[in-house]
Structures are given as structure tokens and as C-alpha cells.
Amino acid sequence: MSIKILKYIFIELVRSRFIIFYGIFLFVLSSAVIYIGHDPSKAVVTMLNLVLFIIPLVSLIFGTIHFYNSGEFIELLLTQPVDRRSVFTAEYLGIAFSLSLAFAAGTGIPLVFFGFTFPVFLLIITGVVLTFIFVSLAFLSSVMNNDKVKGIGLSVMIWLFMSVIFDGIIFIILFVFSDYPLEKFILIFTSLNPVDLSRILILLQLNISALMGFTGALFRDYFGSTAGMVTAAILLICWMIIPGILSMKIFSKKNF
């Protein structure tokens, strides 16, 4: 049932000015980065920074606003003989797919045209995974707040926390406890944040010389191993699924 609804939600979103603008924006940006950088691996590094900055922000804000704006449409769907979970899934996947498509096309076409390498592939995959994660967080903040302003506020806070505050906390821990052997702890702590985890995963693929030092070697040993890769994948999937399921639970019991 979700798929029939999903199809139209997806079509509707792909037509929307925002998604088109988002795709074109990323396309121009990555083309410019490649044009200036000349080297695909350098382009990936620059794109990585942009991707880690833009995707969570756009997914959260757009996901939240879209959810509120779809209120009446969702109500109409819910008065049809259809399960709430199907409606929720369709809405979630519709947004996640359309944002992912805009990202993958906007970033992927110039990068792939320039040279399809494993880091490029990983960057696109990571971008898509981050989109799914942050749309699911956007939905969580939407279903938790009936007030649109509060919902958007919470989404902005989530973004700020994941992108800035969390890393700030890591910095403070590193400074305060600089006399202790913290590598393992910091490694585990950092990988709890999907933005940091994605960043580290891609950086390790790019053979950045600065990461070949002692601490970097430790990170490579950890994330380079099969166990590390599997752990990272599981963590990212958890970030996608747990807020998603949580918000679906709330959505199923919500009063419209």
C-alpha cells in the first residue's frame, strides 16, 4: 500500500522547486569544486565538507517543514482505509528518496563524469545514508511537536548539536583529559555521531597523509578492519531506523 502512495509523494516532491533547486545547487557546487580542484580525490575532500554540512541541515529543515505542510494531505490519507504505518512509511520514503535523488544526481553526475573511484562511490552512499538518517530525525522532531515553530526549532537544535556542539564536547574532553590515554574512548564516542562517523569513514578512504600518523593509524586499524566497517554500518543503520521507528510509534498514536 505504501508504494502506491509513495509513488505520488515522490513525484510531487521531485516537481517541487526546492528539490530542483537543491539538485542544481549541488550540481553547480560540485562542478565548480572539480573545475577548481582538478583532482577527483581532492574534490571528494572538499565535497565531503559541504556534504556533511548541507545534507543534515537540508534533510532536517526540509523534512520538518514538509511534514507540517503535509498535515492536511496526511489527514486525508488517514481517513482512507489504510494503515497509519503505511502512510508514515510512504511520507518518509518519499522525502528521503527525493532528497537522495537530488543529492545523488547533483553531486554524482559531475563526480562520476570526472572519474568514478571508490571514495566517490562512498561519498554518494554516505550522502544518501545521511539523508535517510536526518529525514528520520526530522520526522521525530515533527511528530513530537504539534507546533510547527517548535518542531523546526528542535530540528535546528538537532543539526547544531550533531554538527557543532558534539564536536565541541569532544574538543573539551580532549583538552581536559589530555594526560590520559583517550584514543579508544574518543574513537567510540565520536563514532556515535553519524556526521563524525561518515566523515571519518570517507577520510580514511582518501589516504590523507595527515591521517597516517600515530593516532590516525589507530583509527585506520579500527575502521579499516572488517569489524570496524560492520560496526560503522550498524551504527549508521541504527541512526536511520531507531528515530524512524520511534516517530512511527508516535505517529500511530497521534491525534490529528
Partner 1 sequence: MKNLFIISAVFILFLKCGFLFGKEITVCSECGIKTIKEALDISQDGDRIIIKSGYYREHDLKAEKSVEIIGESFPVIDIDSQGNGFILTKENSSVSGLIIKNMSASYVKDLAAIKIENTSKCKVLNNQLLNTFFSIYLANSRECVISGNTITGNAVTETSSGNGIHLWKCRDIIIENNRVSGQRDGIYLEFVISSLIRNNLSEHNLRYGLHFMYSDSNAYRNNTFISNGAGVAVMYSHYIEMTENHFYHNWGAASYGLLLKDITRSRIYKNLISENTTGIYMESCDKIIITENEFSGNGWALKIMGNCSDNILSKNNFSENTFDIASNSSRNKNFYSENYWDKYDGYDLNKDGTGDIPYRPVSLYSMMLEKIPDSIILLRSFIVDLIDITEKAMPVFIPETLADENPRMHKYQYDKN
Partner 2 sequence: MIKTEKIVKKYGKIEVLKSIDIDLGEGQVAGLMGPNGSGKSTLLKSVLGLVIPDSGNIFVNGVSIKNKFDYRKFIGYMPQIANYPENLKVRELFKIVKDIRSDKSKYDYELFENFGLGEIENKYFGQLSGGYKQRVTASIAFLFEPEILILDEPTSSLDPVSTEILKDKIIKSGSEGRLVVICSHLVSEINEMADRLIYLIDGKILFNDRIKNLINGSGETLGKSIKKIIQNKIGSDEHKNS
| 1 contributes a contact to partner 2 by CB under 8 A | yes
Q: Are 95 and 13 in contact (CB under 8 A)?
A: yes
Among 199, 236, 239, 248, binds partner 1 (CB under 8 A): 199
Q: Which of 126, 124, 120 is nearest to 41 (CA)?
A: 120
Binding to partner 2, residues 88-117 (CB under 8 A): none
User: DSSP character for 147?
Assistant: S
- C-alpha span between 87 and 46 (Å, rounded): 38
Burial (CB count within 10 angstroms: exposed 0-12, middle 13-18, buried 19+), residue 250: middle
Smallest distance, Å, CB 186 to partner 1? 6
Torsion on CA atoms 23, 26, 30, 32, rounded to nearest 10:
110
> Would you count residue 61 as binding partner 1 (CB under 8 A)?
no
Whole-angstrom distance, CA of residue 49 vs CA of residue 52: 5
**Which one among 26, 34, 52, 158 touches partner 1, defined by CB under 8 A?**
52
What is the contact mask toward partner 1 in residues 113 to 152, using x (rule: CB under 8 A)? ----------------------------------------
Which residues sit at the interface with partner 1, rule CB under 8 A?
39, 42, 45, 48-49, 52-53, 163-164, 167-168, 170-171, 174-175, 178, 182-183, 186-187, 190, 196, 199-200, 203, 208-217, 219
Which residues sit at the interface with partner 2, rule CB under 8 A?
1, 4-5, 8-9, 11-13, 15-16, 69-70, 72-73, 75-84, 253, 255-256
